[in-house]
Amino acid sequence: MIDQRLLRTDLDGVRTALARRSSPKLIDDVEHAARLDERLLDIQRERDDIRARVNAVSKDVGMLRRDGKIDEAEALQAQSRELGASEKTLASEHDEVSAALDELLLGIPNLPHPDAPDGASDADNPVVIGPINLRDDYPAHQRVPHWETADALGILDNERATKISGAMFTMQRGAGATLARALCQYGLDLNADVHEEVRAPSLVSTATLTATGQLPKFADDAYAIERDDLWASPTAEAPLTSIYAHETLDDTELPIRLMAHSASYRREAGSAGRDTRGMLRSHEFDKVEMMAYATADQAPDLLDDMVARAERAMAELELPYRVIEICTGDMGQSHHRTYDVEVYAPGADAWLEVSSVSWLGDYQARRAGIRVKRHDADGKPIKGTEYAHTLNGSALAVPRVWAAIIENYRNDDGSVTVPEVLHPYMRNITLIS
| Full pLDDT tens readout for the chain, 433 residues | 899 999 999 999 999 999 999 999 999 999 999 999 999 999 999 999 998 988 888 888 788 788 888 888 788 888 888 888 999 999 999 999 999 999 999 999 999 999 999 999 999 999 999 999 999 999 999 999 999 999 999 999 999 999 999 999 999 999 999 999 999 999 999 999 999 999 999 999 999 999 998 888 889 999 999 999 999 999 999 999 999 999 999 999 999 999 999 999 999 765 555 566 899 989 999 999 999 999 999 999 999 999 999 999 999 999 999 999 999 999 999 999 999 999 999 999 999 999 999 999 999 999 999 999 999 999 999 999 999 999 999 999 999 999 999 999 999 999 999 999 999 999 999 999 9
CA nearest to 161, candidates 152, 153, 151, 149: 151
Binding-site residues for ATP, in ranges, read 266-268, 353-356
Domain ranges in the chain with CATH number 1.10.287.40: 5-107
| Helix 11-19 / helix 24-66 crossing angle, nearest 10 deg | 160
The highest-level CATH class for domain 5-107 is mainly alpha
Cβ-Cβ contacts under 8 Å for 137 (sequence gap 6 or more): none
Number of helices followed by number of strands (H, E) in the chain: 12, 16
Report how far residue 115's alpha carbon sits from residue 385's, in angstroms, rounded to the nearest whole number: 27
Burial class (CB in 10 A: 0-12, 13-18, 19+), 90: middle
Which amino acid, 416?
V
Options 3.40.190.80, 3.40.1410.10, 3.30.930.10, 3.40.50.300; which CATH number does 122-432 get? 3.30.930.10
CB 368 within 8 A of CB 286: no
Phi then psi dihedrals of residue 296, to 5 deg = -60, -40
Distance CA 396, CA 373 (A): 33
pTM above 0.85, yes or no: yes
Do residues 291 and 237 lie in contact, with contact meaning Cβ atoms separated by under 8 Å?
A: yes
Amino acid at 2: I
Alpha-carbon span 80 to 143, nearest angstrom: 83
- Binding-site residues, in ranges, read 235, 266-268, 289, 353-356, 392
Give CA–CA dist 158/170, Å, rounded. 5
Point out the annotated binding site for L-serine: 235, 266, 289, 392
Residue range(s) occupied by CATH 3.30.930.10 in the chain: 122-432
